[in-house]
Chains A and B, each alone.
Chain A
Amino acid sequence: MASSIFTLSFFVSLIASTIRLATPILIPALGQIYTQRAGILNLGVEGTMLMGSIAAFSTAAATGSLWLGILAGILAGILFSLIFAWLTITVRANQVISGIGLNILASGLAAFIYRVIFGIRALPAQVESFKPINFGSLSQMPVLGPILFQHNWLVYFAFLIVPLSWFIMEKTTYGLKIKAVGENPRAADSKGISVAKIRYSAVLLGGAYAGLGGAFMTIAYLNQFTESVIGGRGYIAVSVVIFARFLPSRAALGALIFGFFTALQLRMQALGVSIPSQLLLALPYAATIVALIFASKNAAMPSAYTVPYSRMER
C-alpha cells in the first residue's frame, strides 16, 4: 500500500487536485478579505455559497449556458449578502448571529428551490460542467501538464485575481477607504467617507465572490447539486482569511493547504489506504482548527472588527 503512495502518478494527481480543490476556498476567501477588512465578520459565507451554487446550477440546467450560470451564482451571492449587510450595517444586529441565521435560511431555501425546480428524481439532475482549457501540447506534457495545464478557466481566474485583490486593497483609494472604515470608522466618517456605503460595498463584493465560489462547486467542479455541496467551505474560507492576516497571497497559501488535505483524503481513499476513510474525512476540518491556533494568537484584526457603527453614539 505504502509503495503506491510514493509513485509519480499519485503525486501528480494529488497536486493537480490540490490546486482544483483550493479554488472554491480561495475565491470566497479573497472576497472576505474586503469584507473583514471593513470590520465585518460575515459567517454567512457558507449560506451565500450555497445560494450561489443552487442559482448557478438551476440557471445552467434551465438555459444550457454555463456562463449564465456563473452570472446567476454571482447575482445570488450579492442578493443574499445584501440581507446580511442590511442586518449588520443598517439594523446593527450581532454579526455572528446574523451570519449563522442566514446559513440556516440558506440550507432550507436551497433545498426547497432544488426540490421545486427539479422535483423528486431517481437520479440527481446533472449539467455538463466547464471543460479544462486546452493548452495544446502544454496540456500533454508529462507531470507539469496535468498539474498546471488541465484545469478549467475558473481555477486560473481564482489565482489570477490574487494579485489584483492585493492591488485593489493596497494601491487604490477604495482599498484605503475599506481599511479606514475597518480601523477607525469615526475618523473615516469625519473625513467624509460614508462608513455605511463602504461597508455595504465590501459585504456585497464578498457576497459576489462567495456566490462565484458556490457556482464553482456545482458547475465547474461537480456537475450536480446536493444539499451538502459546500460542506463547511464557507467557514473554512473565513478561517483562511484570519490565517492569511488579510493578505491575498497568504490566502492563496491557506487555500492550497486546505486543498491539499482535502485532495490527500480523496486520493488516499481512492487507493484504499488502511487508515479508515471516515477519519481521513476529518483531515481538512482538523487542519482548519490547527491553522486557527497558529494564526489567531497574534492576528492584527481591524480595530472596529465586528463593531457596528452608528453616527449617533459616541
Chain B
Amino acid sequence: MNKKFRDSLINLGETLAMLVLALLVGALMVKISGNDPLEAYSAMLTGAFGKNPLKSQMKIYELLVKVIPLMMVAFAMSIAFKAQLWNIGAGGQFVMGSIASTAVALYVPVPIPFRIALSLAAAIAAGAFWGWLAGWLKVRFNANEVITTLMLSYIANCILLWLINGPMQDPYSDLTQSDVIPEAMFLPRLIGNYRLHSGIFILVFVAVVMCFFWKTPLGYQIELVGQGRKVATYSGANVDRTIQTAMLISGGLAGLAGWIEMFGILHRLFPDIASNYGDISNIIALLGGLNPYGIIASSFFFAVLINGGSSMNRMTNVPYSIVDVIQGLIIIFVIAKVILHRKNSSAAVKKSK
C-alpha cells in the first residue's frame, strides 16, 4: 500500500472516530436533558431516510435538496479557506446573490431565457463583489477578513430586510417577503412533484470542476498563498492579487448557491433565506479537510443531521438545538484531532535525537 493512500485512510478513520465521539457526547446531553438518546437518534435516522429507505424516495430527494446549498457554500468557503482567508460571511454573499437575481427576475423586462441568464450573472456578480470587498479591505487596509466578512454578512441581511419591507415588498400582501419570481423561470423539478430540482446538475458540474481545481495554476497559487506570504512571494505568486481573486471566486460561488436556492426552492425573498448555511458549510468545509471529496462526503452527513434533526424535533421532546451542539462538537473535535499526530511526531523527534 502506498504511503499517501495509507495516510488518507488513517485520516478518514480518525475523522469518523471524531464524528462518533461528537454523537456520543450529544447522546450524553440528550440523556442529561431527561430524554432517551436512542429514541432521539432513531427518530433522526427515520427522519432522514424514512422507515424503509428503499421505499421512501421522498426522504432521499429531500436529502439531495438540502445537499445542494450546503455543498455549494462549502465549496465556496473551501476556496478562500485554502488561502487561509477565513471567509465566514459566505451566508451574506449567498444573500446578496439571492437579492440580485430576484431583482433581475422581477424587474428586468427582457424575454425569459435572457432574464434567466442575466439573473444568473447578477447573482454571481453580487456574491463575488461582496466577497471581493473583504479581500480588497484586507489587501488595502490589512483589515481582518473574519470580522469584515461577518460584518458584511450582517449588513447583507439588513439590506434584505429593508428590501422586503420596502422597495421589493410583495405588492399582494402585507408580509415581509418579495413577489414570487415568474413561474417560467423556476428551475424545473426532476421527478414528479418532489422538490428535487435541476439545480443539482449545476452542483455536479461545480463538484467536478472542484475536483480538478487544485491542480490548475490558479488553484495552486491560492494554495501557495495559504502557506504564508513569504513562501508565496518567493514562489513568484502575486499575493495581493491572489487574495482578491480567491475572495472573488469564493463569493461568486456563494452567490451562485443563492441563485440555485432562489430559483429551485424558495422562489421569493423573505427574512433569513440563507438559514445558517454559512455556519454549517464552514464546518463541512473544515471537516472535509478543504478537500473536494471530503466536502462531498461531509455535505451528505450534515444533510442527514439537519433533515433528521428537524423531524426529531417534531417527533420527540429533544430540541433541534442538539443538532447545533453536535455540529459544534464535531468542529472542536476535528480541530483537536491534530494532537494525535503531535504526540507521534514529538516521539519521532525524540527518537531521532
Contact = CB atoms under 8 A, between A and B. Distances in A.
Interface of A: 43, 83, 87, 90-94, 96-102, 104-109, 111-112, 115-116, 232, 235, 238-239, 242, 276, 278-279, 281-282, 285-286, 288-289, 292-293, 296-297, 299, 312
A279 B321 contact: no
B266 interface: no
B336 A282 contact: no
Contact of B158 (A104, A282, A296): A282
A112 B319 contact: yes
A83 B329 CA distance: 11
A107 B146 contact: no
B322 A112 contact: yes
B162 interface: yes
A160 B325 CA distance: 37
B170 interface: no
A97 B286 contact: yes
Q: Is the interface of B mostly helix, strand, loop or mixed?
A: helix
Interface string B274-291: 000001001100100000
A278 B155 CA distance: 9
A116 B317 CA distance: 10
Nearest to B164: A278
A91 B165 contact: no
B141 A278 contact: no
30 contacts: A93-B336, A93-B338, A96-B146, A98-B335, A101-B328, A101-B331, A101-B335, A104-B327, A105-B329, A105-B331, A108-B322, A108-B323, A108-B324, A108-B327, A109-B325, A111-B321, A112-B33, A115-B319, A235-B147, A235-B151, A239-B144, A276-B166, A278-B161, A282-B154, A286-B151, A289-B147, A292-B144, A292-B147, A293-B137, A293-B141
A100 B321 contact: no
Contacts of B279: 104, 107
Among A279, A297, A299, chain B packs the most CB atoms within 10 A around the CB of A279
Q: Is the interface of A mostly helix, strand, loop or mixed?
A: helix
B332 A232 contact: no
A299 B147 CA distance: 16
B334 to A, nearest CB: 8
